[in-house]
């Protein structure tokens, strides 16, 4: 029988150590500060009133709430749809479900942080979707305690022809903590997942997440990832096409100020023919913020008729903000359409002047034009209620900024 031994994973992590900037994949993001911090595991949670944190999410008919990394069923609204099955990861581990244990421990073993995740596992969720689910499901992660680390492991399985929309939200009290999330997504034939994520963590927190997506034939994956919080954020998304006819769309927006560091790293593995991928990431960097985009598209031999597009656009708003971007194409097949692009620029001075000449002050003009830059990412969202919610969080970010 397979037993889940946390210590072994933790030992492996200790052997391998934290990723270093000498590793090409971590060239622009240093975890030195994070690795020096001391974190505890979360205590049992106090009875805090979370209503203000859940208010804006009333448009969701169902959501699961995680407090300090653990599923809190009392605060959750359980999905009523018969096509949705869910369970806490802790529960599944305690039941020693061999199938599930295998799935939990199946991850990219090149990535050392996955061992840390398994070795210190807090909780997470398994979601199985068996039919075309209309109502979106929320996964709300709220961190309330300071100096804690939560290692969250999620599994999302969408069965053949099934369909679902999932919204992940990350929020926390204004203090230091560390969230390390590993999510695996399995999309079976002709299935579809729209995964929405809003990260509004405390600007003193560390947020590292890795999303691994495996797509079977004719499946569709769409990601909308908007990052506003975190002292240091690293979002990794890796998509593998296992069978032809699939499509993946990755859309990201990151807005950072203060001394925030936000890194988006993506990897698309076109291992088979006739798949499409599209990526658009936009960044707004103010004050002393540091943005990183690293996107790799690999088109393997025989992955003919691949259509891969990748774009990263950045707006630098202040003298001390900076961006490192590295869009990469590695192509080993000839009958393919691949393109990538990256731009770094500032607000159009002529446009700022135009607004000012109409009586709008400079600060307001900057906000209007910066928002205009970001709006393209909202327009990519097809679900109206979701778009509305994302719009609100973007507005919320602007409300707390004095743009330079």
Partner 1 sequence: MTSKNTNLKQFTDQEYKYGFSIDIDADAAPKGLNEEIIRFISHKKKEPEFLLNFRLKAFKHWQTMIEPTWAFVKYPKIDFQDIIYYSAPKPKKQLKSLDEVDPELRAMFDKLGINLDEQKRISGVAVDAVVDSVSVATTYKKKLAEVGVIFCSFSEAVQNHPELVQKYLGTVVPYGDNFYSALNSAVFSDGSFCFIPKGVRCPMELSTYFRINAAETGQFERTLIVAEESSYVSYLEGCTAPQRDKNQLHAAVVEIVALDNAHVKYSTVQNWYPGDKQGRGGIYNFVTKRGNCRGKNSKISWTQVETGSAITWKYPSVFLTGDNSVGEFYSVALTNNYQQADTGTKMIHIGKNTKSTIISKGISAGRGQNTYRGLVKVLKNASDSRNYSQCDSLLIGDKCGAHTVPYLEVKNKSAQIEHEASTSKISEDQIFYCRQRGLSQEDAVSMIVNGFCKDVFQNLPMEFAVEAQKLLGVSLEGSVG
Residues within the interface to partner 1 (CB under 8 A)? 24, 301-302, 304, 314, 316-346
Euclidean distance between CA atoms 221 and 239, whole angstroms: 9
Both structure tokens of 170: 């990350």
Provide, rounded to whole angstroms, the least separation between the CB of residue 313 and partner 1.
Answer: 10
CB of 271 to partner 1, least distance (A): 15
Nearer to partner 1, 14 or 330 (CB): 330
The rounded distance, in Å, linking the Cα atoms of 294 and 317 is 21
Task: Give the integer Cα–Cα distance in Å for 367 and 364.
Answer: 5
Q: Cα separation of 195 and 137, whole Å?
A: 10
Q: Which residue, 339 or 351, has its beta carbon nearer to partner 1?
A: 339
Are 185 and 156 spatial neighbours (Cβ–Cβ below 8 Å)? yes
Which residues 6+ apart lie within 8 Å of 346 measured at CB? 315, 316, 317
Q: What is the nearest approach in angstroms of partner 1 to the Cβ of residue 22?
A: 11
Question: How far, in Å, CA of 293 to CA of 96, rounded?
Answer: 39
Three-class DSSP category at 142? strand
> From the CB of 348, what's the least distance to partner 1, in Å?
10
> Could you tell me the smallest distance in angstroms from the CB atom of residue 368 to partner 1?
18
In the structure encoding, which two tokens stand for residue 311, read together? 């774009």
Q: Which is nearer to partner 1, 2 or 339 (CB)?
A: 339
Minimum CB–partner distance for residue 16 and partner 1 (Å) = 20
Give the 3-state secondary structure of residue 90: helix
């Amino acid at each position: 029988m397979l037993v889940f031994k946390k210590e072994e994973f933790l030992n492996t992590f200790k052997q391998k150590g934290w990723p270093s900037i000498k590793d090409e994949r971590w060239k622009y993001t240093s975890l030195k500060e994070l690795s020096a911090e001391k974190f505890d595991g979360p205590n049992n949670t106090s009875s805090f009133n979370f209503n203000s944190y859940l208010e804006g999410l009333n448009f969701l008919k169902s959501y699961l709430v995680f407090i300090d990394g653990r599923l809190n069923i009392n605060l959750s609204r359980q999905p009523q749809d018969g096509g949705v099955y869910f369970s806490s990861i802790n529960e599944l581990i305690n039941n020693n479900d061999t199938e599930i244990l295998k799935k939990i421990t199946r991850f990219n073993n090149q990535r050392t942080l996955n061992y840390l995740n398994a070795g210190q596992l807090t909780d997470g969720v398994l979601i199985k979707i068996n039919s075309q689910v209309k109502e979106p499901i929320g996964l709300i992660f709220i961190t309330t305690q300071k100096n804690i680390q939560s290692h969250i492991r999620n599994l999302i399985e969408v069965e053949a022809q099934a369909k679902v929309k999932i919204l992940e939200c990350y929020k926390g009290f204004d203090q230091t903590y560390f969230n390390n999330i590993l999510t695996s997504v399995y999309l079976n034939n002709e299935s579809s997942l729209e995964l929405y994520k809003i990260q509004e963590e405390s600007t003193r927190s560390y947020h590292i997440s890795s999303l691994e997506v495996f797509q079977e034939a004719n499946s569709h994956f769409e990601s909308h990832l908007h990052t506003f919080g975190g002292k240091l954020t690293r979002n990794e998304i890796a998509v593998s096409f296992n069978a032809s006819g699939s499509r993946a769309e990755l859309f990201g927006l990151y807005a950072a100020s203060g001394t925030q560091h936000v890194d988006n790293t993506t990897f698309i593995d076109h291992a088979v023919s006739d798949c499409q991928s599209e990526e658009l990431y936009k960044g707004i960097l103010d004050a002393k913020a540091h943005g990183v985009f690293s996107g790799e598209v690999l088109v393997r031999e025989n992955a003919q008729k691949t259509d891969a597009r990748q774009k990263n656009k950045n707006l630098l708003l202040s003298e001390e903000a900076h961006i490192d971007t590295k869009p990469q194409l590695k192509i080993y097949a000839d009958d393919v359409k691949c393109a990538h692009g990256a731009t770094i620029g500032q607000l159009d001075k002529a446009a700022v002047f135009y607004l000012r000449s109409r009586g709008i002050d400079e600060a307001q003009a900057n906000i209007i034009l910066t928002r205009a830059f970001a709006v393209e990412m909202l327009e990519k969202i097809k679900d109206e209620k979701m778009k509305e919610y994302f719009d609100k969080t973007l507005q919320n970010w602007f409300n707390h900024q004095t743009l330079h």
